[in-house]
Structure formats: structure tokens, C-alpha cells
A and B are shown apart, each in its own frame.
Chain A
């Protein structure tokens, strides 16, 4: 059963502009025990794009990101089926640390910093992989240039910092592994709107530097504004996909809430 209303956008023009997709996700389903959380998800991510995944609570957005970084590979507790292909390399059976080594990482929901480590130590954990260790000092300086506030507070224990500063550390820590793709799970959760603006400016800079970004964002207008590819999830399935400049807000809203238009083809 396909319930997508629109195949405009990326499937309509495969390999947009002749580029090869960076990530190709096919027939991806995810399960928590017996409970199915994702239904045959299919999409492609082009190099350098910002993909926004939107959907109501429980639509499966976080599960989708966790599936991509191997955090759903938890034996009988949680597992996935289907394929996740990154330029010919299959990621779906790999452990998280191998996926990170392949160049995909995530800024987790709620930041999840290491609370007893300092700012600099948190950042340095991101450079744990053998391929990152040599470049760690330069990377660290890049991150301090991007977030000067972290440079000033490098010796501070992170759980004494504000939410916005912690989010900067979480983003910096992900960048330390020199990723090609960064998944951002609920970046704006619990942050003041002005801080969220700043954070998204940084996401823009990261993307400008050539990093492909996948963003989960509750605020639909913001999601449409920052992205150049949108995926709307409803009850674990993709109901709408496309270029935000071509989609109108009503269409996205109805897909988001699962009203008639969103299920038109069902």
C-alpha cells in the first residue's frame, strides 16, 4: 500500500543534476520487539543537501535516524529490515561505531553530552576514531572558531552550561569525527527561539562546508525554510516527499496531520 501523494522531487528526477545519491534507503522497516515503527521507508539523500524530516510525535522520525546510525540494531529489543546504502557500502548491519567510521554521525536528541567531562574532553571524544586522531587539534580549532563561546569555556564541566551551549558542544562533538552526513535529532528542543536561530545559522555553515545534513524539526515553517528536501512521516510511513520550494504549506500540513489529502492515494 503506497500512501504517498507526491512523487515529485527526487524520485521524479533520479540522480538530480546527474549526481549520484549519497544515501539510498530502501524498504526500511524498524521494529521495537514485535512492534513495528517504520513501514518500508524509501528515499535518497543527495550529497550536500539538507533533508528535513517532519511529522507528529510518534511518527517515527527519531526511529528513522536511529536506524541509519545503527542504534536500532539491538537484537531482540529492536531491529531493522531493508537496506541503507552509502555509495555502495551497506550500513544496515553495521554497528554504530563502524557507521560513524564510514562518515555518518548523529547529534542525539537531548544532546546527551558526557556530563562529567569538560567541554574540550567532550569534543575530543568525537575524535576517538583512528582516522580522526591526527587531525583532532586542527578540528578543535575549527570548532572553537565556529563557536567562540566554547573556546572560552573549554575547561568547564558541561553539565554546568546552558542548554544552547550544550547544544553547541553536541554539534561540535559530532563534527570532530569529520563526517559526510550529520543527523540532527530535535535540535531546537528546549531552547529559546533566538538560540535556535543561531544554531540553525551554524547548521547552514556546516552544510556550506559540504556536510550533508538530515534534520528533525518540530517547527514546520523552520523545517521548510532551512531544507532543500522534505520528508513527511505519518505513523511510520513516508506520506509526502519533495522540494520545499515546490510544496505548499497546506499540502505539508495535511500530510503532517494525516487528513484526507495526505491519504488521497490510499
Chain B
């Protein structure tokens, strides 16, 4: 190898690494959007929401419906989809999930031996119901939310580009995260959500209506899932049964970041994204998923509570 060839080799391997870090981080922001909602419901209600991925897909299909009536940029659908998903989440929590919580089972004099199992099974059933409902309404054709930015890229240097859309989603993801952090720490409702998550039995003594607060929590979780769904629909195609793959990504980011930690889900998402892109670069595209799961296994083996869990 001549020195010149060596330099070119070195240049490309550096580009590979920088590209992996950049693209991985940007994908990580998008993974974080997918997982914040899951982290939130788990952190507040100890609810493992198996329908989370399906809620994301619902967000994408709501945008499809809206774009049928109003041919605008998919970004504008967020104005409707996000509040609508919030309301759906609030109602769902109050009319369905609150009724199978440990406290509700206790009130009815039913066995609480199943602990967290009842809500998990309810969300599992809900996920199946949602995906079949979507299949019934929209059929199984792959859809995409058409937009003018799909093929735009931000050019950093001659050999380094990142997808503009993914970058925008990264930025939106970080903004949502900061907003959620401020909401949970600086507002009465946010503190009430955290208080109820720490001690649901005592928080009513502060005047906190836990059923309402849990409704807010699932509402926020679903609003963010809806936003993530619209964004996913702009990047790639989706079908009614795509929910579980997003659920898996979300679980990955949440496990790495720490159960219930919202900042953890961003860091977890970024680490997962970087690992996947680098594994893909060095070991071929089929190594992407394996690389991601290896990271999850490593974290579970050495820090099972996650990197950011308190």
C-alpha cells in the first residue's frame, strides 16, 4: 500500500465513523420520539403499554385521513393529530385502563395477584384490536405521507450527508423532550404526575385526582406517539401491522436508557441508532438489527436498571 492509498483508506474509514455517529444520532432522535411515550407511561403508571407501537401507526393513519380532505404538507397534520391523540389517550385511560389497575381491582374485591398483568393484557388486546381496525378501514396497502422534503439532505461535506427530514425529526424530538421535562418539573400538573408515580395512595391527600392525572399521562404519551407516527409516515411506508416493530425499538431505547427515565430514552435512542448504523457499516446491513440487540443485551447484563435509572 502506497502512502497515498493509505491516506485514502484512512479518510474513508474516518468518514464511515463520522457518518455512523451523525446518522446514528439523528436516527436516535427519531427512536427517542418513538420511545418517550412508552417511558412516560411506564414511569408514571408502571404501565407496560404493548399497544404503544399501534398508537404510533394510528397517528400516521390519522394524517392519511386528514390529507384526504386537506391536501397540505404533512407537517400541518400535526396540528390536528397531536391534540386528537391526546384526547384519545385521556379517554382510553379513564374508561378502560384505570378500570384494570391494581387499585381498581382492589375496589371491586377482585384478586390483585395478577398485579401488573391485567393492564398489560388489556393493552396487548388493544394493540390487536387497533391493527385489525386499521386493516378493516385502510386495507393492507403500504401508505406514505407524500412530502417535498423526502429526498432532501443536509450536505456537511462532499462525502457526508444526512437526511433533512430525519434531522428535522431529531430537532423536534429534542424539543418535545425539553418541553416534557419542563412540564413535569415546573407545572402543578407535571409535579402531580410525578407525585402520583411515586405514591399513588398518598397523592390524593395533596388534592390530586389520580385517575385524571393518569389520563393526562397516557394522553401525553399518545400525543407524542401520534407525532412520531406522522414523522415515520413521511420517512417510510407503513401498514396496519407495523406497530410491533416500533414497540420493539421503543423497548430497546427504554431498556438502554433506564425504565421510566425520559432523558434516558433520548440517550438510549441515540446509542441504539449509532450502534445500528455502525454495525451496518462494518458488518453489512443484516448486522444492523443484531448490533442493536447486542447493545440491549449488554446493558441488561451489566446495568439491568438502564443507564439513567434513578
**Contact mask for chain A residues 74-91; partner B; CB cutoff 8 A; 1 contact, 0 none:** 111100000000000000
Task: For the complex, give the distance between the alpha carbons of A124 and B191 in Å.
Answer: 8
A144 to chain B minimum Cβ distance, whole angstroms, is 18
Number of B residues whose C-beta is below 8 Å from A? 23
Q: A100-B205, A125-B206, A125-B208 are in contact. Are A116 and B188 (CB under 8 A)?
A: no
Residues in B whose Cβ lies below 8 Å from that of A106: 205
Task: For the complex, give the distance between the alpha carbons of A128 and B204 in Å.
Answer: 10
Residues in B whose Cβ lies below 8 Å from that of A74: 103, 106-107
B141 on the interface (CB 8 Å rule)? no
Contact: B109 with A77, CB < 8 Å? Answer: yes
B194 on the interface (CB 8 Å rule)? yes
Q: A125-B203, A128-B188, A128-B208 are in contact. Are A117 and B108 (CB under 8 A)?
A: no
Contacting B at CB under 8 A, from A109-134, are 112, 114-117, 121, 124-129, 132-133
B96 to chain A minimum Cβ distance, whole angstroms, is 18
B180 on the interface (CB 8 Å rule)? no
B196 to chain A minimum Cβ distance, whole angstroms, is 9
Q: A76-B107, A128-B188 are in contact. Are A69 and B205 (CB under 8 A)?
A: yes
Contacting B at CB under 8 A, from A41-80, are 69-71, 74-77
Of A95, A125, A177, the residue contacting B191 (CB under 8 A) is: A125
Q: A75-B107, A76-B108, A127-B188 are in contact. Are A114 and B207 (CB under 8 A)?
A: no
Residues in B whose Cβ lies below 8 Å from that of A133: 188
Of A71, A77, A117, A126, the residue contacting B194 (CB under 8 A) is: A117
Task: For the complex, give the distance between the alpha carbons of A75 and B102 in Å.
Answer: 13
B200 to chain A minimum Cβ distance, whole angstroms, is 11
Task: For the complex, give the distance between the alpha carbons of A95 and B208 in Å.
Answer: 10
B209 on the interface (CB 8 Å rule)? yes
Residues in B whose Cβ lies below 8 Å from that of A129: 206-207
Contact: A177 with B206, CB < 8 Å? Answer: yes
**Contact mask for chain A residues 187-217; partner B; CB cutoff 8 A; 1 contact, 0 none:** 0000000000000000000000000000000
Task: For the complex, give the distance between the alpha carbons of A121 and B185 in Å.
Answer: 8
Which applies to chain A's interface (DSSP): helix, strand, loop or mixed?
loop
Contacting A at CB under 8 A, from B178-237, are 185, 188, 191-192, 194-195, 198-199, 201-209
A116 to chain B minimum Cβ distance, whole angstroms, is 6
A101 on the interface (CB 8 Å rule)? yes
**Contact mask for chain B residues 96-111; partner A; CB cutoff 8 A; 1 contact, 0 none:** 0000000100111100
A106 to chain B minimum Cβ distance, whole angstroms, is 6
Task: For the complex, give the distance between the alpha carbons of A190 and B240 in Å.
Answer: 57
Residues in B whose Cβ lies below 8 Å from that of A229: none
What is the chain A residue whose CB lies nearest that of B194? A117
Residues in B whose Cβ lies below 8 Å from that of A124: 188, 191
A29 on the interface (CB 8 Å rule)? no
B260 to chain A minimum Cβ distance, whole angstroms, is 10
Residues in B whose Cβ lies below 8 Å from that of A77: 106-107, 109
Contact: A97 with B204, CB < 8 Å? Answer: yes
Which applies to chain B's interface (DSSP): helix, strand, loop or mixed?
helix
What is the chain B residue whose CB lies nearest that of A79? B107
Contact: A117 with B206, CB < 8 Å? Answer: no
What is the chain B residue whose CB lies nearest that of A122? B195
Contact: A112 with B199, CB < 8 Å? Answer: yes
What is the chain A residue whose CB lies nearest that of B104? A75
Residues in A whose Cβ lies below 8 Å from that of B106: 74-77
Residues in B whose Cβ lies below 8 Å from that of A236: none
Of A75, A97, A108, A115, the residue contacting B207 (CB under 8 A) is: A97
Contact: A97 with B208, CB < 8 Å? Answer: yes
A166 on the interface (CB 8 Å rule)? no
Residues in B whose Cβ lies below 8 Å from that of A75: 106-109
Task: For the complex, give the distance between the alpha carbons of A69 and B212 in Å.
Answer: 19
What is the chain B residue whose CB lies nearest that of A116? B198
Of B103, B198, B207, B209, the residue contacting A132 (CB under 8 A) is: B207
A214 to chain B minimum Cβ distance, whole angstroms, is 14
A105 on the interface (CB 8 Å rule)? yes
Residues in B whose Cβ lies below 8 Å from that of A173: 206
Task: For the complex, give the distance between the alpha carbons of A33 and B199 in Å.
Answer: 23
What is the chain B residue whose CB lies nearest that of A74? B107
Task: For the complex, give the distance between the alpha carbons of A247 and B310 in Å.
Answer: 52
Task: For the complex, give the distance between the alpha carbons of A124 and B205 in Å.
Answer: 13
Contact: B209 with A97, CB < 8 Å? Answer: yes
Task: For the complex, give the distance between the alpha carbons of A174 and B206 in Å.
Answer: 7
A167 on the interface (CB 8 Å rule)? no
Contact: A95 with B209, CB < 8 Å? Answer: yes
A96 on the interface (CB 8 Å rule)? yes
Contacting B at CB under 8 A, from A15-41, are 33
What are 25 residue pairs bridging A and B, where the CB atoms are less than 8 Å apart in the complex?
A33-B109, A71-B201, A71-B205, A74-B103, A74-B106, A74-B107, A75-B109, A77-B106, A96-B204, A97-B204, A97-B207, A97-B209, A100-B205, A100-B206, A101-B207, A105-B205, A108-B202, A114-B195, A116-B310, A117-B198, A121-B185, A124-B188, A125-B208, A126-B206, A128-B191
List B residues at the A interface (Cβ < 8 Å): 103, 106-109, 185, 188, 191-192, 194-195, 198-199, 201-209, 310
Instruction: Pick the 8 closest A-B CB pairs, nearest first.
Output: A76-B109, A75-B107, A96-B204, A129-B207, A114-B198, A100-B207, A112-B202, A125-B195
